Structure 1
Amino acid sequence: MSEKWDERNIPDQHGRVAIVTGANTGLGFETARMLAERGARVVLAVRDVEKGKQAAARIHGDVGVQALDLASLDSIRAAAADLRALHPRIDLLINNAGVMYPPKRTTADGFELQFGTNHLGHFALTGLLLDRLLDVPGSRVVTVSSVGHRIRAAIHFDDLQWERSYSRVGAYGQSKLANLMFTYELQRRLARHGATVAVAAHPGVSNTELLRNSPAAFRLPITWLAPLITQNATMGALPTLRAATGPDVRGGQYYGPSGFQEVRGHPTLVRSSRDSHDRAVQQRLWTVSEELTGVTFPV
């Protein structure tokens, strides 16, 4: 397969059910759009249902909308119950939604917003839906990380919620590192079951609403240099789509743009940081995540 992988390479998706979080704008919308146009039944799992309906109306295909606030465990449990009732089988769970560099805030359950939304929210949702994927041939859990998993990134077990001091960049890096560690630990557990695999992806630097909370020192250069160092949401969604649909994909892989420093380009297999492969930290993070969310996995 050519390295210039694009939406034309997405296999036929008829008969498949895909749940995409954060799918009303940006990367999530483009991911959902392309899956629906290839025949999948796609559910936009979004915080704002009205915006979700507006997004669904712009997509040609079989599209539904599900209320989901990843910053609330009650909302996650309610959404999972709805999705389980409607879909006895799920082929793709795409953990795409995220927040980046907000001022210090907490979720409804008291977690730091980025760690709580980007990691714990998706951890809980995956655990609550996973049995709907386990016996489905070709099913995948795709979690979207970031090049930010390398920037000031560590799992701060002594202060996971950044209560002593807050760094919006450090907290984002922790959440995106957690996304990868979750993927790798989940894949080890899934490997004993056969059908489902866990894969990660990142969009490079995409010009989306996610950048709106970036510090000015970061945001202004992005604005000036956008044509050179960013790519649009359609290109940014391609690594996720390749991870979700590529016939050559294997569990535990990580996809991102092929260009310089993985900032932009067509999707290809990439490597994550050395820290992301620390099994002891992965396993400790898993245990802590179960304790914080109250969600355990059927694997």
Structure 2
Amino acid sequence: MRTWTSNEIPDQRGRTAVITGANAGLGAVAARRLAARGASVVLAARRLDAGRAAAEAIRAELPSARIEVRELDLASLDSVRGFAEGVRRDLDQVDLLINNAGTMRGPFRRSADGHELQLAVNHLGHYALTGLLLPLLTEVPGSRVVVLSSTEHRFGRLDLDRLDDEAGYDSRRAYQRAKLANTVFGLELHRRLVEHGSRTIAVLAHPGIAKTTLARNGATAAERLLVRSVTALLGQSAEEGARAELFAATDPSVRGGAFFGPTGRGEARGPVGEVAPGLVALETGLGEQLWHVSERLTGVRYLDSVAA
């Protein structure tokens, strides 16, 4: 199996990348790396001030970087639609969409649209965004959608009739469910793109355990301490954690539907290589079921070319 340890990525000149959650952590690393190789990068950030600070930091290191910041709150479908409308209006093409942003654990909260927050941010917002930007992607041969997952998806369960229930809420189980939804969505998007002969591919990646701001989260003080302790003991740097999504986004050998992550023990860290999704993500019919539920909850219907 081929593995990858380098921080170097191929020349990205002439390519335009949209990265969600690009103001910090893995997204900020990916934005800087892509900009350094010549890509035009749209930093999609929930808070404009944080996005602008990230852009300034990149420009301080790379004065010629082509970076712009746009506001995107994945917990609000109105914000997702406004962001996508602006991108479609102002850009001629999108070569790369990295669905990087996420929220992890925390107490039960609802999004602006009434959905459980972890599901809304990690999955529903990205499902809607991908569908709304797909017309720009499908115009570009070799364009890619990269969906960020987690090893935690292997422990998730998708009860599609009770995605928003507060009763019995458990922050870790909700996170596992949201990351399973990411994984199932990425695989189903790949299937539909292939079925309709699209030139766009969908790829999945996970960072292993990485030292990012997500490690601060938890529904209780004890959970936050546990997450921070595990991350401090086993985690790799954000630079190392971003390797999987950058490999998925740029390596010429990548095929649609593949899943990349660290290949060390427990896939927590180590060289990047192809990994297997959990069996739960491969259940027959689950992708199509999640697709239809996501369509209903967001009101976003994809292009006929991938709607199936």
- TM-score higher than 0.5 here? yes
Question: What is aligned with 1:183?
Answer: 186
Question: Are the aligned partners of 1:134 and 1:193 in contact in 2 as well (CA < 8 Å)?
Answer: no
Question: Are the aligned partners of 1:162 and 1:171 in contact in 2 as well (CA < 8 Å)?
Answer: no
CA shift for structure 1 position 224: 4.4
CA shift for structure 1 position 158: 2.6
Question: What is aligned with 2:112?
Answer: 108
Q: What's the CA shift string for 1:76-124, capped at 9, x where partnerless?
A: 0000000111112100000000000011000000000000110000000
Question: Are the aligned partners of 1:115 and 1:174 in contact in 2 as well (CA < 8 Å)?
Answer: yes
The question of 1:237 aligning with 2:242 is answered yes
1:170 aligned counterpart, secondary structure: helix
Identify the match of residue 125 of structure 1 among 124, 129, 136.
129
CA distance in 2, matches of 1:205, 1:234: 12
Distance 1:24 1:114, change over 3 A: same
CA distance in 2, matches of 1:46, 1:269: 29
- State the one-letter code of the partner of 1:292: L
Question: Are the aligned partners of 2:215 and 2:228 in contact in 1 as well (CA < 8 Å)?
Answer: no
CA distance in 1, matches of 2:85, 2:24: 24
CA shift for structure 1 position 65: 0.4
Question: What is aligned with 1:270?
Answer: 275
The question of 1:155 aligning with 2:158 is answered yes
Q: What's the CA shift string for 1:198-225, capped at 9, x where partnerless?
A: 0110000111111211355554355446
The question of 1:65 aligning with 2:64 is answered no
TM-score, length basis structure 1: 0.96
Distance 1:221 1:172, change over 3 A: closer
CA distance in 2, matches of 1:163, 1:228: 32
CA distance in 1, matches of 2:254, 2:207: 17
Equivalent positions of 1:1-80 (< 5 A) are 3-8=3-8, 10-59=9-58, 60=62, 61-80=65-84
The question of 1:204 aligning with 2:208 is answered yes
CA distance in 1, matches of 2:161, 2:227: 33
CA distance in 2, matches of 1:2, 1:286: 32
1:58 aligned counterpart, secondary structure: helix
Q: What's the CA shift string for 1:109-164, capped at 9, x where partnerless?
A: 0000000110000000000000101121110000100011123x111123101232
- State the one-letter code of the partner of 2:286: V
Question: What is aligned with 2:91?
Answer: 87
> Which consecutive segments of 4 or more residues in structure 1 shift more than 6 A?
none
1:296 aligned counterpart, secondary structure: coil
CA shift for structure 1 position 193: 2.5
1:279 aligned counterpart, secondary structure: coil
The question of 1:168 aligning with 2:167 is answered no
CA distance in 1, matches of 2:24, 2:229: 23
Gaps of 5+ in 1: none
Identify the match of residue 280 of structure 1 among 278, 285, 289.
285
CA distance in 1, matches of 2:71, 2:225: 34
2:28 aligned counterpart, secondary structure: helix
- State the one-letter code of the partner of 2:121: T
**Identity between Structure 1 and Structure 2 (%):** 49
CA distance in 1, matches of 2:231, 2:216: 14
Question: Are the aligned partners of 1:258 and 1:267 in contact in 2 as well (CA < 8 Å)?
Answer: yes
Question: What is aligned with 2:266?
Answer: 261
Question: Are the aligned partners of 1:92 and 1:140 in contact in 2 as well (CA < 8 Å)?
Answer: yes
CA distance in 1, matches of 2:157, 2:41: 34
Question: Are the aligned partners of 1:222 and 1:229 in contact in 2 as well (CA < 8 Å)?
Answer: no
- State the one-letter code of the partner of 1:256: G
Question: Are the aligned partners of 2:7 and 2:243 in contact in 1 as well (CA < 8 Å)?
Answer: yes
CA shift for structure 1 position 266: 2.1
CA shift for structure 1 position 2: 5.9
- State the one-letter code of the partner of 2:302: F
